[in-house]
């Protein structure tokens, strides 16, 4: 219990009422009738191993003498929410309307907002370095606010906002993606559109990504939250996952939510859905998500 308190103060805020609440969202984004449990203790399994080492020296240090991309906070009108909302957008070095770019939509956790990824992982530094070294494709990274409600600040009981994370599916598909595709020079087919997220955003990625395999070719769930649906609801027909270019599941071995990722890994393995399984010795924390992003973007070949 002491560990739980230290690692996840917010876990203690979870209420059955919050999880059982009916969302005002389409069927594909409904909370499953039996959500994954929030806590079951950590049990490391034989294949819970890193697929990648810790990143090499200098990976997250801003370099002079290489071209830099831009990180800009933009606003858009959300028809879904009925407000003007914000999202952080990284454009790669030398971004030009003469070219078309693939896009990664990157989702934050339950206590985060559109600034969280920039604060936790400085994706602009990671990507500038990787692109300079030819290790990642130039891509646009969109970091929206996954709490699709009028007041989208992460304040008060953050678990009370869970329904808004379900509404986000419509905000993403109907407002965010069309905004990005109208304002930026992007490749708009599924092969060039990726979706990933941390914790709550990892669960959203699973739920939204598998419900719309025609829209996303690359999926990444980092330290997935228990909001991820179970396999029967995520993927009733395993053959439907065939067109996926990448399914990435990762988690820290000191994360109290590891069991959620372990279950996803076991379910995908049982259904023969190819995926990367990357377990580090991190916890439910920024260092975990930062290195996950670093390796994940290198797997986005967008071919």
- What is the binding site for ligand FER (CB under 6 A)? 11, 14, 19, 38, 109-110, 199-200, 225-227
In three-state secondary structure terms, 274 is coil
In the complex with ligand FER, the residue whose CB is nearer, 29 or 38, is: 38
Nearest approach, Cβ of 109 to ligand FER (angstroms)? Answer: 3
Nearest approach, Cβ of 199 to ligand FER (angstroms)? Answer: 3
CB atoms inside a 10 Å sphere around CB 27: 7
Nearest approach, Cβ of 223 to ligand FER (angstroms)? Answer: 7
Residue in this structure with the two tokens 């560990």, named with its chain if needed? 3
Nearest approach, Cβ of 64 to ligand FER (angstroms)? Answer: 35
What sign does the CA torsion over 224, 226, 230, 233 have?
negative
In the complex with ligand FER, the residue whose CB is nearer, 90 or 120, is: 120
| DSSP labels, 12-25 | GG--HHHHHPPPSS
Nearest approach, Cβ of 292 to ligand FER (angstroms)? Answer: 14
In the complex with ligand FER, the residue whose CB is nearer, 19 or 173, is: 19
Q: How many Å apart are CA 102 and CA 285, to the nearest integer?
A: 28
Q: How many Å apart are CA 259 and CA 41, to the nearest integer?
A: 8
Nearest approach, Cβ of 16 to ligand FER (angstroms)? Answer: 10
Backbone dihedral angles phi then psi of residue 230, each to the nearest 5 degrees: -80, 160
Q: What angle do CA 221, 225, 231 make, to 5 degrees?
A: 70
Helix/strand/coil percent split, the chain, to 5 = 35, 15, 45
Using an 8 Å Cβ cutoff, are 269 and 100 in contact?
A: no
Q: How many Å apart are CA 301 and CA 246, to the nearest integer?
A: 9
In the complex with ligand FER, the residue whose CB is nearer, 179 or 227, is: 227
In the complex with ligand FER, the residue whose CB is nearer, 38 or 129, is: 38
In the complex with ligand FER, the residue whose CB is nearer, 217 or 226, is: 226
């Amino acid at each position: 219990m002491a560990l739980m308190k230290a690692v996840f103060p917010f876990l203690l805020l979870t209420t059955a009422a919050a999880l059982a609440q009916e969302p005002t969202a389409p069927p594909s984004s409904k909370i499953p009738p039996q959500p994954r449990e929030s806590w079951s203790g950590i049990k490391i399994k034989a294949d819970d191993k890193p697929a990648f080492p810790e990143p090499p020296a200098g990976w997250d240090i801003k370099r002079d003498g290489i071209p830099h991309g831009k990180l800009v906070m933009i606003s858009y009108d959300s028809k879904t929410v009925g407000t003007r909302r914000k999202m952080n957008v990284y454009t790669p070095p030398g971004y030009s309307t003469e070219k078309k770019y693939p896009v990664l939509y990157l989702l934050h956790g339950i206590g985060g907002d559109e600034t969280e990824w920039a604060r936790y992982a400085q994706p602009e530094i990671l990507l500038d370095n990787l692109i300079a070294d030819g290790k990642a494709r130039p891509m646009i990274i969109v970091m929206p606010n996954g709490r699709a409600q009028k007041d989208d600040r992460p304040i008060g009981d953050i678990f009370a906002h869970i329904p808004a994370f379900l509404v986000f599916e419509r905000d993403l598909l109907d407002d965010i993606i069309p905004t990005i595709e109208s304002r930026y020079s992007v490749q708009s087919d599924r092969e060039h559109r990726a979706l990933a997220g941390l914790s709550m955003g990892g669960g959203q990625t699973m739920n939204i990504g598998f419900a719309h395999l025609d829209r996303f070719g690359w999926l990444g769930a980092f330290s997935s939250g228990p909001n991820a649906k179970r396999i029967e609801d995520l993927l009733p027909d395993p053959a439907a996952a065939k067109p996926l270019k990448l399914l990435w599941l990762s988690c820290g071995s000191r994360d109290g939510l590891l069991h959620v990722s372990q279950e996803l890994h076991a379910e995908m393995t049982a259904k023969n859905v190819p995926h990367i399984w990357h377990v580090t010795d991190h916890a439910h924390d920024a260092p975990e998500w930062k290195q996950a992003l670093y390796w994940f973007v290198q797997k986005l070949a967008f071919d």
